[in-house]
Amino acid sequence: MPDATETVIGMLAQYFPPAIARAVVRSTLRRGGFANDSLDVGDLPDFVSALEQTLPMYIVDLERRGECVERVRELLPHAQRGPAPSPRPRPTPRENGRSPADRAPDSPRDPSDGAASSERLVGGSVRVRSSHDVVQACDLARETARKLEFSLLDQTKIATAASELARNILLYAGDGEVRILKVESPRGLQITAIDSGPGIADIDLVMNGGYRSRTGMGMGLKGAKRLMGELEIRSRLGVGTTVVATKVLR
Amino acid sequence: MQTARIPIIALYANLIVPLQGAIADDVMVQLSEDVTRRIEDGRIRGLVIDVSGVETLDSYLTKNLRDLALTARLMGVSAVVSGLRPAVAITLIEMGLEIPGVRTTLNLERALEALHEAHEEEARSLGEGGQGDA
pLDDT digits 0-9 by tens, B12-50: 999 999 999 888 888 999 999 999 999 998 899 999 999
Q: Which residues of B touch A164 (CB under 8 A)?
A: 58-59, 95
Q: Does B3 touch chain A (CB under 8 A)?
A: no
DSSP state of B19: E
- Assess whether pLDDT exceeds 80 at residue A119: no
Closest by Cβ to B100, choosing from A214, A219, A227: A214
Inter-CA distances, B38 with A1, A183, A245, B32, B46, Å: 75, 49, 42, 10, 11
Q: What is the Cα–Cα distance from A5 to A26, expressed in whole angstroms?
A: 10
Residue positions counted in chain B: 134
Average pLDDT value for residue range B51-74: 94
Within 99-138 of A, beta carbons closer than 8 Å to B belong to 130-132, 134-135, 138
Nearest CA in chain A to B54: A156
CB atoms within 10 A of CB A15: 17
Chain centroid to Cα B49, Å, comes to 4
Q: What is the mean pLDDT of residues B93-106?
A: 91
Tell me the shortest Cα–Cα distance from A164 to chain B, in angstroms. Answer: 6
Q: What is the ipTM of this complex?
A: 0.89
Chain A residues lying within 8 Å of B98, measured CB to CB: 214-215
Any chain A CB within 8 A of the CB of B94? yes
CATH number, domain with residue B49: 3.30.750.24
Nearest CB to A216; choose among B59, B86, B90: B59
Amino acid at position B77, single letter = V
pLDDT digits (tens, 9 = 90+) for A173-186: 999 999 999 999 89
Nearest CA to A120 out of A153, A82, A150 is that of: A82
Q: Tens of pLDDT along A9-30?
A: 777 877 776 667 777 787 787 7
Q: What is the CATH number of domain A119-248?
A: 3.30.565.10
Cβ A153 vs Cβ B87: under 8 Å: yes
What domain range includes position B127?
A: 9-133
In this prediction, residue A57 carries a pLDDT of 72
Whether the predicted pLDDT of A98 surpasses 50: no
Residues of B in contact with A134 (CB under 8 A): 24
pLDDT tier at B66, thresholds 50, 70, 90: very high
Show residues of chain A in contact with B100, CB under 8 Å: 214-215
Residue A206 Cα distances to A163, A210, A222, B97, B101, angstroms: 18, 7, 7, 16, 26
Instruction: Round to whole Å and give the CA distance between B34 and B28.
Output: 10
Whether residue B2 lies inside any domain: the answer is no
Query: Minimal CA–CA distance to A157: which of A62, A246, A53, A42?
Result: A246
Size of interface A-B (CB pairs under 8 A): 85
Give the HSE-up count for residue A137: Cα atoms under 13 Å, Cβ half-sphere: 34
pLDDT at A122: 86
- What is d(CA A52, CA A87) in angstroms, rounded to the nearest whole number? 9
State the average pLDDT over residues A36-60.
77
Count of structural domains, chain B: 1
Domain assignment present for B1: no
Pairing of strands B14-20, B46-53: parallel
What residues of chain A lie within 8 A of the CB of B86, using their CB? 153
Chain A interface includes B123 (CB < 8 A): no
Residues 6+ apart with CB under 8 A from A51: A24, A28, A69, A72
Nearest CA in chain B to A224: B95
Task: Kindly list the residues from chain B whose CB atom is less than 8 angstroms away from the CB atom of residue A152.
Answer: 87
- In this predicted model, which residue has the larger pLDDT, A160 or A122? A160
* pLDDT on residue B3: 62
| Nearest chain B alpha carbon to A221 | B95
Residue A207: its pLDDT value, please? 79
* Residues in chain B within 8 Å Cβ distance of A217: 59-60, 63
Residues near A205 by beta carbon (within 8 Å), at least 6 away in sequence: A211
- Is B4 part of any domain? no
